[in-house]
Amino acid sequence: MAPGLTKFEIIPFKVAAYNKAEKRMELFDEKRKQDFEFISGTKMRGFAREGVSPPDGFMAPKAWKVLSDFYQKK
């Protein structure tokens, strides 16, 4: 612990990932790690630039269109 921060508590954040079995984003469950895919921002931007659709349930289609259009115009 850093000096002077004796009452400081670090709370780990929860990690969201794409659940391939359920076809949606949800909190990662280590016990079912084979069901999950981590889609980084870099990977997502690459999909958008290349006009590749993300997996079903990853993002609302209208939101993906806005994002994809933006990156394809850059």
The total number of structural domains that make up the chain? 1
In this prediction, residue 29 carries a pLDDT of 97
Span 1-30, pLDDT tens digits: 567 777 878 888 999 999 999 999 999 999
Rounded distance, CA 31 to CA 73, Å?
41
pTM of this prediction? Answer: 0.73
Question: Alpha helices of the chain — where are they, by DSSP H?
Answer: 41-50, 61-73
Report yes or no on 63 lying in a domain.
yes
Q: What is the C-alpha separation between 20 and 56, in angstroms, rounded?
A: 9
Question: Which residues span the domain enclosing 27?
Answer: 16-73
Supply the DSSP symbol for 31: G
pLDDT digits (tens, 9 = 90+) for 16-74: 999 999 999 999 999 999 999 999 999 999 999 999 999 999 999 999 999 999 999 97
Looking at the domain assignment, is residue 60 inside a domain?
yes
Please compute, for residue 21, the number of CA atoms within 13 A of its CA located in the half-sphere on the CB side: 8
Tokens in use for 67?
């994002």
